[in-house]
Chains A and B, each alone.
Chain A
Amino acid sequence: MTLVTKFAARDLGPAARVAGFMTHLRDNGLRLGVGETGIALDALTHVNAINPQDARRALKSVFTGCAEEAAQFDGLFNSFWMNGGRVKTRVTATATPSQSQNVHSSREASEEASSGTGDISAPDGGDGEVESDGEGKLIATEVTNLFKKDLRDLVRPEDIAEAEKIALRLGAALRDRRSRRRKAARKGDQIHFRKVMRQSLATGGEPFALPKRHRPDRTLRITAICDVSGSMTVYSRIFLAFLAGLMRADTRADAYLFHTRLVRITEALRDKDALRALARLSLLAEGFAGGSKIADSLNTFAGTYGRRFVDNRTVVMILSDGYDTESPDGISDALVRLKKRGCKIIWLNPLKGWDGYAPTAQAMAGALPHLDLFRAANTLGELAALETDLARL
């Protein structure tokens, strides 16, 4: 039996199928235009398109544009062209969580009930806070929250518009004199030979004026890492609005979320429609408002994305309260690793705004020596006030 997909008889032929495949890819998040369809059809004429392997390789080089897409592509190709000869794929139902033996219910486990941890009689799976005696203090929760929280409830479009303005101002405040390229400027430090020549033609080859050039200022890039664990829920609204605004104001900014895992949300937040961006974010932010593993997440960041996107022109902005579920020893190491890349590190801690706050949480104490700036920020206004501090970095 062949694995190749059987297409319906009324199908319009290869070109239409490739177009269908394009739609399939677009549905799965690859950004492809009409142009690519043309190139793909062209490419298929240059290879033995009957051979699935050749076709897969040819289409892969045309349709993918980065490592993530390349890794994703084989699966997408197989699901469209090689679905085992079936005409249509069936969606397999997910297993429903087992119900406790003490509870007899004719009710089907519905959405919320089935997506939480544990079972009906013990929502935490028996070992979480529900079962233990509460001590009534603020702690980082250890349980990964599996509910998908809809971030649209948290953030309003007006906030984003305001945050966008603030992010623009912050970006402008971050200047760096590091460029090696030189540009024409009246008060430059080097002679602009090209201009000298051009202008000296008017005076018979005698260079009268000496135009100068200098190194222009370069903006720093902001990379924001936002903690969305349970203890940060109250502040998430402001921070997420800020991130969304930042992404829209500055095309080079980069954003990440972490709770128990680190998620890159740059792509999601770049969506032109602010609300849709948040909807996409909600899908990514599974585990929102659960526990937080700051050290783990920062280490992951330093080892993966940090290597690619953090350099001496980057300001890493960490938005977190410093309450870590796990041992916080790693935080210091992670920050050292980041620091080695020559970046600036800013930590914005909402709790710092409290009266009598001291960075006693172990995580904060370990992180302090590596920070270029440690500030409070729990409203958009306070974020805006950072402008002067950033200019001095």
Chain B
Amino acid sequence: MTWTTLQTAMADQGYIASGDLAMALHLSLSLGRPLLLEGAAGVGKTEVARVLAAVQDTQLIRLQCYEGLDAAQAIYEWNYQRQLLAIRAASEDGETGKAVEARIFSDEFLLERPLLKAIRQDKAPVLLIDEIDRADEEFEAYLLEILSEFQVTIPEMGTITATTRPMVILTANGTRDLSDALRRRCLYAHVPYPDLETELCILVTRYPDITDRLCAQIVGFVQVLRKQELEKKPGIAEMLDFAAALMGLGVADLTDDPAVLQATLTTLLKTHTDRDAIPTEITQRLVGKAA
């Protein structure tokens, strides 16, 4: 598979990837290295993993990072309650200590978390580590070990080596600087807001029955809106919501009804200050500019 065929395959799944992104994904697949995706919120970083899993016809395993995420949540945990019950039950049955210990530290009592799950699949899955910059530095260091060795050591069971190497995608939107070590381990692609043509393409792919005129107006308007001084610029997901809202309301032309247009801006502008910054007059001016 070359990077262009990958790009086409992704387009068939409804994801329009830029050349840079498709190339990075292709290399990541062929070199077996993790890929780090960075970009503003709402540009479709997470979606990349979902689509890639669909293209590869494999499972998507997702690990959502958050502050305070630790090994017990990310790799594995023993099912303590069941273990306690098992020990009690065993003493009633007169099972020997050795047998009990072997049993309560077996697969049966192991709760697999995403990272362990990802390396124990029969078919290599796509492992999405979402918003890695939200996790703590300590976790990042642990992740490095797993990403380079693809093995997990459980003291009670021994080392578990990957049966298949998952295809790893990490996403970040710059809540903090990632360590150089992590950046060096990964290939990198920056996902920007799409340009006009790409965004038109995305909208048509998602809503095939949209009229050309409305499509051009929506995308043009959102593109101009992104150039305004906003706290939170509308992403692709917001643009699609906006289009869905307009189509649901039966709007055929953005210039038709200023009141409706202003009301549908709730799908694009998500903070109070942003709403205040774009009153009806400015909306109308922007629509005029976009047309």
Contact = CB atoms under 8 A, between A and B. Distances in A.
Contacts of B188: 61-62, 64-66, 69-70
Interface in B50-92: 66-70, 72, 78, 80, 83-84, 87-88, 90-91
A57 B28 CA distance: 12
A309 interface: yes
A173 to B, nearest CB: 21
A201 interface: yes
Interface stretch (B119-127, B169-177, B204-212, B281-289): B169-177
A234 interface: no
Interface in B143-185: 174-178, 180, 183-184
Given A180-B68, A181-B136, A61 B189 contact: yes
Nearest to A305: B174
B215 interface: no
Question: Which of B36, B68, B186 neighbours the largest number of chain A CB atoms within 10 Å of its CB?
Answer: B68
Nearest to B190: A70
B24 A57 contact: yes
Interface stretch (A149-157, A190-198, A320-328): A190-198
B23 A58 contact: yes
Contact of A65 (B26, B28, B84, B180): B180
Interface stretch (A33-41, A89-97, A275-283): A33-41
Majority SS at the chain A contact face: helix
Given A46-B27, A196-B80, A33 B101 contact: no
Interface string A56-85: 011011101111011100000000000000
Contact of B190 (A39, A67, A197): A67
Nearest to A307: B174
B258 interface: no
A29 interface: no
Contact of A181 (B26, B38, B70): B70
Given A53-B19, A67-B190, A194-B80, A205 B91 contact: yes
Question: Which of B30, B35, B188 neighbours the largest number of chain A CB atoms within 10 Å of its CB?
Answer: B188
Contacts of B27: 43, 46-47, 58, 61-62
Contacts of B186: 65
Interface residues of B, number: 48
Contact of B33 (A39, A53, A180): A39
Given A39-B31, A47-B26, A60 B180 contact: no
B31 A48 contact: no
Contact of B87 (A36, A61, A200, A309): A200
A69 B68 CA distance: 29
Nearest to B28: A61
A65 B90 CA distance: 54
A197 B176 contact: no
A109 to B, nearest CB: 41
A66 B88 contact: no
Contacts of B35: 61
Nearest to B19: A57
A193 B83 CA distance: 11
B128 to A, nearest CB: 18
A180 B67 CA distance: 7
A311 B180 CA distance: 21
B180 A61 contact: no
A201 B84 CA distance: 10
B278 to A, nearest CB: 17
A217 interface: no
Contact of A67 (B31, B38, B78): B38
A54 interface: yes
B173 to A, nearest CB: 8
A250 to B, nearest CB: 13
Question: Which of B28, B83, B91, B190 neighbours the largest number of chain A CB atoms within 10 Å of its CB?
Answer: B190
Nearest to A61: B24
Interface in A1-44: 31, 33, 35-36, 39, 42-43
A6 to B, nearest CB: 26
B180 A181 contact: no
B203 interface: no
B110 to A, nearest CB: 13
Contacts of A197: 78, 80, 83-84
Contacts of A54: 3, 23
A48 B35 CA distance: 20
Interface of A: 31, 33, 35-36, 39, 42-43, 46-48, 53-54, 57-58, 60-62, 64-67, 69-71, 179-181, 193-194, 196-197, 200-201, 204-205, 207, 303, 307-309, 311
24 contacts: A36-B184, A46-B31, A47-B3, A47-B26, A60-B20, A61-B20, A65-B36, A65-B180, A65-B184, A65-B188, A66-B178, A66-B183, A67-B38, A70-B190, A181-B136, A197-B78, A197-B83, A205-B84, A205-B87, A205-B88, A205-B100, A303-B229, A309-B176, A311-B175
Interface of B: 2-3, 19-20, 23-24, 26-28, 30-31, 33, 35-36, 38-39, 66-70, 72, 78, 80, 83-84, 87-88, 90-91, 97, 100-101, 136, 174-178, 180, 183-184, 186-190, 229
